[in-house]
């Protein structure tokens, strides 16, 4: 007999993330895949992979909650949904039960969410309809430079200087990048400049107060951005063990709560 | 699992009468445009309409036409027409949509009212820049297009108190309009008729105030989205008996709703103040979105902007000046914040939503720190959504939905 599990599905514009938790809120299994064009199929793949990792099957699911842009495309699992803002807040508060400012950098949007010590949202801000500071900006730059995304982090670390990119606009930033290429600037310096520009655009969205938690796929895959954030705000930041999963984990915690449970972290390693 | 219940949009019974008087207004306007003897004036929405009506002009309000372009979702296709002749996509999308419609020879009036092709040709254009500078640019373009006079009031801006000096200034500017208007109208201003018109305007806006204030009841009997539709007569028929009669009927219906505890939004849980313009092309979607969330957006600066308690038949010109100066949009942030704070209390508001309209800076009050200041002073949380009044290229439906849902979740957590 396997244990009952609770599932959170974070159907992001770029990646689908699924988290499976136990009745204490502890993460048992998880999976991440490109969302692609068939959200339901991707969700099914991620669900089964994360259940397998948790040693559970679909019949063990007590409750599930979906979040993210595709939250309404997973009716085969659940009709319950919460916003990604609520889910990131829930997931981060589970890990850091104190007043925090969450900076989430996703593929399509960024969020700055401020929580009080009880995990209640005091305020939140999302980026405006613009790619500045999002994963989409990084993807565009990776494509322009013909450098795979996964190589950008290590290249940025090799930089000796930071090229400054001043524009909000992704297209204008790309022009600035091309201008620097024309002037023979080292690629590593340009990539560091891209990282710097990206994190600046995010930090400009709101005042950054108190303890900061970074989440989202972009920081999960580019740890150099974490160091850059610390340098820019002048203090250390908190990084969850799985920064890309805080939304899915939060959704699973909502599912647990909906059935009367309370993630108390007692099962967390 | 909670049972899903589809929200019901409750139809206001008086709507039929409103459609009728709006239809009569547009047909009369069309007749005036085709008449050899009647004169047509185009007027900004808080321009000197009382003066124009008293002088016998049929009055067309381009802002109303532009809002119709937005509500019918024609605007986004027409704005580029104006962009192409040098009117930037960053300026007022009422202006660009309306000029675009003229250039393309199209109008929502043609679809709604068989026999009408377009707004009537003006004999004179009269603006008041209390709304913004764009109205002057907008009317000036038409003055060149039609070869007719364009006159107006250049309003003081960003003041806190409506002082006598400001009233003197605007009164003199209104007086200065009269000779040109008399010349175009071919008749002299009849002060008695002006007094009667101002009295009707006062009565109309007083009733409109009472209509909007019914939303202070819990549950609220009407929403901001209802208000944007039912404000039509207050905008285009101010100073007429029809508008007064209509608002009497609407008020009676809403008072009946209050007596019977009929909510505009079933199961009203949250009460929201809307600051800024509506997104005209998304009225229905936004209304449904909030209904689904059992949230009543029940009061707004926008709809309340057509309440003019200063109109006084005993002192028509000076009281018109006061009324046009007292308008929210033209005041300082200090005034605006004090006003909104009073409204928050009066309507028992849980949260404020600011619509930051890309092309309407004067109606986007979230840009100079107001949300933060008001939140700090009142403890009432706020949300800023990015969008536009008419240009749907500036609107992200998914971003709006996520932001609104997250805001309502935030309000839930505070309960």
Residue A126 and residue B413: Cβ atoms within 8 Å?
no
Q: Which residue is associated with the tokens 């000036």?
A: B140
ipTM of the complex: 0.86
3.30.750.24, 3.40.50.1460, 3.30.420.40, 3.30.460.10: which CATH number matches A5-87+244-258?
Answer: 3.30.420.40
Q: Round to whole Å and give the CA distance between A87 and A102.
A: 11
CB contact under 8 A, B394 and A129: yes
Amino acid A267: pLDDT: 41
Answer for the pair B218, B350: CB distance below 8 angstroms, yes or no: no
> Could you write out the three-class secondary structure of B290-358?
HHHCCEEEEEEHHHHCCCCCCCCCCCHHHHHHHHHHCCHHHECHHHHHHHHHHHHHHCCCCEEEEEEEC
Chain B CB within 8 Å of residue A82 CB? yes
- With bands split at pLDDT 50, 70 and 90, how would you rate the model's confidence at B7? low
Chain B residues whose CB is inside 8 A of the A122 CB are: 381
* Segment (H or E) for B145: helix B134-146
CA distance B337 to chain A (A): 20
**pLDDT tens for residues A44-70?**
999 999 999 999 999 999 999 999 988
What gap in Å lies between CA B307 and CA B133, rounded to an integer? 22
Q: Which residues lie closer than 8 Å to B20 by C-beta, 6 or more apart?
A: none
pLDDT in tens, A137-163: 888 888 888 888 889 999 999 999 888
Mutate to test the interface with B, among A85, A136, A206, A250 (most CBs of B within 10 A): A85
Phi-psi group of A34: left, alpha or beta (phi > 0 → left; psi -120 to 50 → alpha; rest → beta): beta
**Alpha-carbon distance B339 to nearest alpha carbon in chain A (angstroms):** 23
Q: Do A83 and B409 touch (CB under 8 A)?
A: yes
Domain ranges of chain A: 5-87+244-258, 135-200
φ/ψ region of B43 (left if φ > 0, alpha if ψ in -120 to 50, else beta) reads beta
Q: Residue B266 gets which letter from DSSP?
A: T
- The alpha carbon of residue A266 and the mean position of all alpha carbons in its chain are separated, in whole angstroms, by 24
Q: What are phi and psi of B87, to 5 degrees?
A: -95, 110
What whole-number distance in Å separates Cα of residue B324 and Cα of residue B156? Answer: 10
Residue showing tokens 């006084």: B312
Nearest in space to A91 (alpha carbons), one of A209, A268, A225: A268
Q: Which of A69, A121, A125 sits opposite B398 (nearest CB)?
A: A69
In B, which residues are within 8 Å of A110 by CB distance?
A: none
Q: What is the mean pLDDT of chain A?
A: 90
CB of A85 within 8 Å of a chain B CB? The answer is: yes
For residue A200, count other CB atoms closer than 10 A to its CB. 17
Residue the block writes with tokens 């004169």: B39
Q: Do A86 and B409 touch (CB under 8 A)?
A: yes
Q: What secondary structure does DSSP assign to chain A, as a single string?
A: -PPPEEEEEEE-SSEEEEEEE-TT--EEEEEEEE--S-HHHHHHHHHHHHHHHHT--GGGEEEEEEESTTGGG-TTT-S-B--HHHHHHHHHHHHS-S-EEEEEE-SS-EEEEEE-TTS-EEEEEE--SS-TTSHHHHHHHHHHHT--HHHHHHHHHT-SS------SSHHHHHHHHHHHHHTT--HHHHHHHHHHHHHHHHHTTS---SEEEEESHHHHH-HHHHHHHHHHHTS--B--SSGGGHHHHHHHHHHHHHTT----STT--
* Distance from the A140 Cα atom to the nearest Cα atom in chain B, whole angstroms: 21
A245-257, pLDDT tens digit by residue?
Answer: 999 999 999 999 9
> CA B401, CA B236: separation in Å to the nearest integer?
32
* Cβ atoms < 10 Å from Cβ of B187: 12
Across the interface, of B394, B403, B414, the residue whose CB is closest to A126 is B403
Q: How far is B83 from chain A (nearest CA, A)?
A: 21
Q: What is the pLDDT of residues B60-112, one digit of tens each?
A: 999 999 999 999 999 999 999 999 999 999 999 999 999 999 999 999 999 99
Cα B258 vs. chain centroid, distance in angstroms? 25
List the one residue out of B25, B88, B376, B94 whose CA is nearest residue B233.
B25
pLDDT attached to residue A117: 95
Q: Give the model confidence (pLDDT) of B143-201 as tens digits.
A: 999 999 999 999 999 999 999 999 999 999 999 999 999 999 999 999 999 999 999 99
β A5-11/A15-21 pair status: antiparallel
Q: Is A241 exposed, middle or buried (0-12, 13-18, 19+ CB in 10 A)?
A: exposed
> What are the sequence ranges of the domains in chain B?
15-414
Closest CB to B406 among A80, A83, A120: A83
Name the minimum distance, in Å, from the CA of B383 to any CA of chain A.
Answer: 8
Is A123 near chain B, with CB under 8 Å?
yes
Yes or no, beta carbons of B413 and A121 under 8 Å apart? yes
Bridge partner residues of B35 (DSSP): none
* Structure confidence at residue B9 (pLDDT): 65
pLDDT digits (tens, 9 = 90+) for A3-34: 899 999 999 988 999 999 999 999 999 999 99
Highest mean pLDDT, choosing among A18-22, A119-123, A259-263? A18-22
pLDDT of residue B3: 43
CB nearest B402 (choices: A84, A121, A123): A84
Residue pair B340/B275 in contact (Cβ under 8 Å)? The answer is yes
Contact B399 A126 (CB under 8 A): yes
- What's the mean pLDDT in B197-222? 96
Packing angle, helices A149-157 and A187-203, rounded to 10: 100
Q: Nearest CB to B406: which of A80, A120, A124?
A: A124
Q: How far is A206 from chain B (nearest CA, A)?
A: 11
Separation between Cα atoms, residue A253 and residue A90, nearest integer Å: 7
The whole-number average pLDDT for the span B333-349 is 98
From chain A, the residues in CB contact with B406 under 8 A are: 83-86, 121, 124
CA distances from B323 to B157, B205, B211, B320, B330 (A): 14, 11, 19, 5, 11
C-alpha torsion angle, residues B175, B179, B181, B186 (rounded to 10): 140
Are the CB atoms for A215 and A102 separated by under 8 Å? Answer: yes
Q: What is the DSSP string of A17-57?
A: EEEEE-TT--EEEEEEEE--S-HHHHHHHHHHHHHHHHT--
Tell me which fold the domain A135-200 belongs to. Nucleotidyltransferase; domain 5 (3.30.420)
Digit-coded pLDDT (tens) for B268-311: 999 999 999 999 999 999 999 999 999 999 999 999 999 999 99
Quick one: which H or E segment has residue B199?
Answer: helix B191-213
Tell if the CB–CB gap between B402 and A85 is shorter than 8 Å: yes
How is chain B split among helix, strand and coil, in percent rounded to 5? 55, 10, 35
Please give the angle made by the CA atoms of B158, B159 and B165, to the nearest 5 degrees: 130
Whether B413 and A123 lie within 8 Å, measured CB to CB: no
Residues in A closer than 8 angstroms to B402, CB to CB, are 69, 83-85, 126
Closest partner residue to A129 (CB to CB) among B381, B386, B407 is B386
Query: Is the per-residue pLDDT at B337 higher than 90?
Result: yes
Residues A239, A240, A244, CA angle at the centre, nearest 5°? 105
Q: Of B384, B396, B409, which is closest to A129 when you measure between CB atoms?
A: B396
């Amino acid at each position: 007999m396997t244990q009952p599990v609770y599932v959170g599905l974070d159907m992001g514009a770029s990646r689908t993330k699924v988290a499976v938790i136990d009745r204490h809120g502890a993460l048992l299994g998880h999976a991440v895949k490109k969302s692609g064009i068939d959200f339901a199929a991707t969700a099914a793949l991620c669900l089964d992979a994360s259940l397998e990792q948790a040693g559970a099957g679909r019949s063990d699911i007590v409750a599930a909650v979906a979040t993210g842009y595709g939250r309404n495309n997973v009716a085969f699992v659940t009709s319950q949904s919460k916003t990604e803002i609520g889910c990131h807040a829930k997931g981060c508060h589970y890990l850091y039960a104190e007043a925090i400012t969450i900076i989430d950098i996703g593929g399509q949007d960024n969020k700055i969410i401020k929580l009080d010590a009880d995990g209640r949202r005091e305020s939140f801000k999302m980026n405006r309809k613009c790619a500045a500071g999002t994963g989409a900006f990084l993807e565009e730059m990776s494509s322009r430079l013909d450098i795979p995304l996964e190589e950008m982090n290590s290249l940025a670390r090799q930089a000796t200087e930071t090229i400054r990119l001043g524009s909000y606009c992704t297209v204008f930033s790309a022009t600035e990048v091309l201008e620097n290429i024309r002037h023979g600037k080292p690629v590593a310096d340009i990539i560091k400049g891209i990282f710097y520009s990206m994190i600046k655009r995010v930090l400009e969205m709101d005042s950054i107060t108190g303890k900061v938690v970074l989440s989202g796929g972009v920081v999960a895959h580019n740890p150099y951005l974490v160091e850059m954030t610390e340098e820019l705000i002048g203090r250390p930041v908190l990084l969850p063990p799985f920064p890309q999963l805080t939304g899915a984990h939060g959704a699973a915690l909502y599912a647990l709560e909906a059935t009367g449970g309370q993630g108390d972290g007692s099962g967390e390693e | 699992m909670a049972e899903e219940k589809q929200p019901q949009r409750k139809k206001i019974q008086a709507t039929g009468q409103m459609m009728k008087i709006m239809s009569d207004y547009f047909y009369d306007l069309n007749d005036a445009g085709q008449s050899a003897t009647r004169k047509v004036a185009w007027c900004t929405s808080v321009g000197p309409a009382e003066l124009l009506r008293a002088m016998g002009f049929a009055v067309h309000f381009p802002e109303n036409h532009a809002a119709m372009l937005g509500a019918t979702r024609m605007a986004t296709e027409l704005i580029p027409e104006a962009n192409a002749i040098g009117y930037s996509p960053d300026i007022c999308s009422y202006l660009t949509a309306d000029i675009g419609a003229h250039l393309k020879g199209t109008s929502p009036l043609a679809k709604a009212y068989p026999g009408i092709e377009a707004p009537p040709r003006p004999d004179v254009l009269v603006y008041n820049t209390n709304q913004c500078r764009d109205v002057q640019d907008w009317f000036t373009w038409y003055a060149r297009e039609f070869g007719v006079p364009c006159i107006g009031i250049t309003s003081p801006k960003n003041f806190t108190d409506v002082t006598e000096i400001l009233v003197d200034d605007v009164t003199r500017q209104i007086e200065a309009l009269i000779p040109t208007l008399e010349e175009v109208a071919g008749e002299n201003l009849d002060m008695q008729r002006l007094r009667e018109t101002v009295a009707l305007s006062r009565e109309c806006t007083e009733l409109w105030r009472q209509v909007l204030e019914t939303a202070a009841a819990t549950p609220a009997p009407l929403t901001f989205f209802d208000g944007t539709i039912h404000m039509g007569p207050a905008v285009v028929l101010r100073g007429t008996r029809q508008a007064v009669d209509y608002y009497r009927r609407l008020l009676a219906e809403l008072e009946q709703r209050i007596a019977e505890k009929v909510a505009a939004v079933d199961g009203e849980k949250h009460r929201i103040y809307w600051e800024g313009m509506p997104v005209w092309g998304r009225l229905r979607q936004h209304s449904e979105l909030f209904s689904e969330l059992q949230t009543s957006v029940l009061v707004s600066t926008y709809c309340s902007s057509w309440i003019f308690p200063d109109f006084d038949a005993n002192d028509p010109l000076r009281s018109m000046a006061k009324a046009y100066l007292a308008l929210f949009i033209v005041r300082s942030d200090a005034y605006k914040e004090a006003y909104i704070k009073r409204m928050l209390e009066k309507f028992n508001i849980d949260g404020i939503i600011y619509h930051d309209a890309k092309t309407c800076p004067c109606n986007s009050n979230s840009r100079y720190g107001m949300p933060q200041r008001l939140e700090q002073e009142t403890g009432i949380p706020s949300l800023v959504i990015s969008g536009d009044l008419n240009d749907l290229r500036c609107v992200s439906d998914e971003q709006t939905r996520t932001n609104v849902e997250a805001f309502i979740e935030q309000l839930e957590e505070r309960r």
